[in-house]
Structure 1
Amino acid sequence: MFREHLKKELNNIKNSGLYRTLKVKDGKFIDFSSNDYLCLSKHPEILNAVKNGLRYGSGSTGSRLTSGNINHEKLEEKIAEFKETERALVYSSGYATNVGVISALCKKGDLILSDKLNHASIIDGCRLSRADVLIYEHCNISHLLNLIEENWRKYEEGNLFIITDGVFSMDGDVAPIKELKKIADEFNAVLIVDDAHGTGVLGNGKGTLKHFNIKPSDNIVQVGTLSKAVGGLGGFVCGVEEVIDYLINTSRSFIYSTALPPHVVEGCIKAFEIIEKGEVVKNLQNKINIANKIFKKYKYINCGHITPIFPFIFGEKTMSLAQHLIDNNIFCVGIRYPTVPKGSERIRVSINIGHKKEDFILLCEKINDFLIDDKK
């Protein structure tokens, strides 16, 4: 009966056009889907650091609170220094970080104000916290203020949280962090910023706060990932000493997860060292500028981007276009509902420092070919 039930549910997913399959890419593809913005996942210095890290073994063998605390504190010290915070804490994934941080810091009786387009991991963390959650329109400061002014008196001082992505993963736009910080200060709220797509990209690589020249403070908690621009695996949170101590003692996804393999940790330490030097970050910004000019020329974007994420919105044609690109050795996956709202299905173009000008032109030409054939 259970098997038949699952078959029925899968058929419903297929009939809705939402069925997912795993895709395999190899070296013959031009990859416009990866979040490896700085191409550090294959950087020779990092691979060498990973190799040296195998001296600890292939796995950590346990959680950080049992046998798994090996070289992880070295990485945390590096992240805290990099982000200019008092301390940092490493998790097994970016998803686990958001879920664990939000569900630990926010509780029943608190109020969370969350951007409408926040990542699924933020949404799930909010749900698990059992706090009251109000959604403000995407990057809409006026709407956020209205919600706070209507509701904040119902909550005790210090029970207010504003949560946002720093860079939004599907549109590549940047949250108005300066305005959000002012509101957090005015209402004695905590600002939680998920800087997964900002770290290694904005602010000379230091992230979204640095981009806006905002210094870390007691009421800011920064979350990040080690699996995008850093090129490794895992997630992190950084802030004041008390936040990290509290999470070590209360965050379930930290306490009950096996720690990252130590060789991965060594690779991430080296990655932050490379990012700090600045060359790879400048290279990425140069590639973003080139992509802006070409994508504007082909009229796939209207305004310039400062991040490597470019949404090409094609609606119902998106998945057919994605397959057309794969058939032409371009790996650029289609994004559809429920990841994005219906009607805004898009090709999420993600560029990195390994791309050449010719790659951007080829992508646009192959999209043009599809659109011309589609009109016939």
Structure 2
Amino acid sequence: MFREKLKREIEIIKSNGLYRFLREKRDNILDFSSNDYLCLSKHPEVIEAVKEGLKYGVGSTGSRLTSGNINHQRLEEKIAEFKETERALVYSSGYATNVGVISALCKKGDLILSDKLNHASIIDGCRLSKADVLIYNHCDVEHLANLIEENWKKYNNLFIITDGVFSMDGDVAPLRDLKKIADEFNAILIIDDAHGTGVLGDGKGTLKHFNLKPSDNIIQIGTLSKAIGGLGGFVCGIDEVVEYLINTSRSFIYSTALPPHVVEGCIKAFEIIERGDVVKELQKNIKIANGIFKKNGFIKENNLTPIYPFIFKEKTMLIAEHLIKNNIFCVGIRYPTVPKGLERIRVSINVSHKKEDFELLCEKIKDIYQNHLNQTTNNPYPLYSRLFSQ
């Protein structure tokens, strides 16, 4: 009975065009899908650090509160120094960090104000918390301020939660304005800087990009699996936040600690970022991509980040499949990850890409659109527009 029920559910998913499957990544493919923005996952120094870390063994063998606390505090000290905060705490993943931090800190009688386009891990953390949740329109500071003005007196604590860089659109949260609102209403600002760390603010993240200093009412969350090139997540802020999370955050307490050789690789990755060269190289590539993508009509405005959504709506998955046949890997993103009508190819660039790669991508998409989708107009592909009101 259970097997048949699952089969029916899977068929419904397929009939709705929402079926997902795992695809093996080929070595000879031009990859515009990876979040390894600085290509540190394959950096020789990082690999050597990982090899050296194997002296501790392959796994950590337990949670941080039992047998798993090996070299992890060295990484936390490096992150705290890098983010200019009092302290940091490492989790097993970025997802586990958001879920664990939000569900531990936000309680019954509190109010969370969450950006409409926040990552799924933030949404799940809000759901697991006992706090009430209100959603403000994407990056709409006025809407956020109105919601707080109408509700703040009813609650014990206020939490404003936002991505620093939004993973599906590549735009940057208005942190300067969000910080002003947080200060005015004595709220806590939680920033998930998964896609900002290593990218903006000389690599230090979105807060540094706006020249904002860490303060008692700011909590920064990040991942070690994107620009850092490793695995895991982290939270950083004041000492008391970390101390509290060690004692209350379930996804920290009850998870096996990161493998120590991964920890060593992440420490080395932060050291490389601090040198500055690799971040400058990424920013140089973003400028080159901006020019080519704008010239070909795929974007209107220059990007600050390496994430480019090319919105093709219902044609998205067909274009993605044709690109793979041409040895170009770009993931098609559809509902529920993005709203219906805003399906897109998510183009993610990194320091290894060359000008010719960006030109080839544009050329292949135009060829697919005109020769495989039977489009004959001179400019069939859409200009990129942020249709967040829909």
Please say whether Structure 1 and Structure 2 have the same fold, judged by a TM-score greater than 0.5: yes
Residue 130 of structure 1, CA deviation = 1.8
SS at match of 2:252: helix
Match of 2:191 in 1: 193
Match of 1:50 in 2: 50
SS at match of 1:163: strand
**Whole-angstrom CA distance in 2 between matches of 1:130 and 1:372:** 52
**Whole-angstrom CA distance in 2 between matches of 1:320 and 1:111:** 42
Corresponding letter in the other structure for 1:130: K
Match of 1:63 in 2: 63
Task: Output one character per residue of 1:187-236: Cα deviation in whole Å (capped at 9) or x when no partner.
Answer: 00000000000000000000000000000000000000000000000000
Corresponding letter in the other structure for 2:251: S
Match of 1:365 in 2: 363
Residue 74 of structure 1, CA deviation = 0.2
Give the counterpart of 2:328 among 330, 336, 348: 330
Match of 1:134 in 2: 134
**Whole-angstrom CA distance in 1 between matches of 2:245 and 2:123:** 19
Residue 25 of structure 1, CA deviation = 1.3
Match of 1:32 in 2: 32
Match of 2:86 in 1: 86
**Whole-angstrom CA distance in 2 between matches of 1:25 and 1:369:** 23
Count of residues paired in the alignment: 374
Counterparts of residues 283-362 of structure 1 (less than 5 Å): 283-362=281-360
Corresponding letter in the other structure for 2:44: P
Corresponding letter in the other structure for 1:127: R
**Whole-angstrom CA distance in 1 between matches of 2:274 and 2:122:** 28
SS at match of 2:77: helix
Match of 1:261 in 2: 259
Match of 2:374 in 1: 375
Q: 4+ runs of 1 displaced by more than 2 Å? A: none
SS at match of 2:90: strand
Match of 2:214 in 1: 216
- Find out whether 1:14 has 2:14 as its counterpart: yes
Match of 1:231 in 2: 229
Match of 1:204 in 2: 202
Task: Output one character per residue of 1:90-139: Cα deviation in whole Å (capped at 9) or x when no partner.
Answer: 00000000000000000111000000000000000000002100000000
**Whole-angstrom CA distance in 2 between matches of 1:356 and 1:22:** 28
**Whole-angstrom CA distance in 2 between matches of 1:149 and 1:42:** 49
Corresponding letter in the other structure for 1:92: S
**Whole-angstrom CA distance in 1 between matches of 2:133 and 2:155:** 12
**Whole-angstrom CA distance in 1 between matches of 2:133 and 2:232:** 27
Match of 2:163 in 1: 165
Match of 1:109 in 2: 109
Corresponding letter in the other structure for 1:28: N
**Whole-angstrom CA distance in 2 between matches of 1:318 and 1:130:** 38
- Find out whether 1:154 has 2:146 as its counterpart: no
Residue 375 of structure 1, CA deviation = 2.5
**Whole-angstrom CA distance in 1 between matches of 2:252 and 2:63:** 8
Alignment RMSD: 0.5
SS at match of 1:27: coil
**Whole-angstrom CA distance in 1 between matches of 2:61 and 2:142:** 49
**Whole-angstrom CA distance in 1 between matches of 2:212 and 2:65:** 33
Unaligned 5+ segments in structure 1 are none
**Whole-angstrom CA distance in 2 between matches of 1:28 and 1:231:** 20
What TM-score comes out, normalization by structure 1 length?
0.99
Task: Output one character per residue of 1:165-187: Cα deviation in whole Å (capped at 9) or x when no partner.
Answer: 00000000000000000000000
Match of 1:180 in 2: 178
SS at match of 1:375: coil
Corresponding letter in the other structure for 1:375: N
**Whole-angstrom CA distance in 2 between matches of 1:328 and 1:309:** 21
Corresponding letter in the other structure for 2:333: I
**Whole-angstrom CA distance in 2 between matches of 1:209 and 1:179:** 12
SS at match of 2:125: helix
**Whole-angstrom CA distance in 2 between matches of 1:86 and 1:96:** 21
SS at match of 1:145: helix
Residue 26 of structure 1, CA deviation = 1.7
Corresponding letter in the other structure for 1:214: L
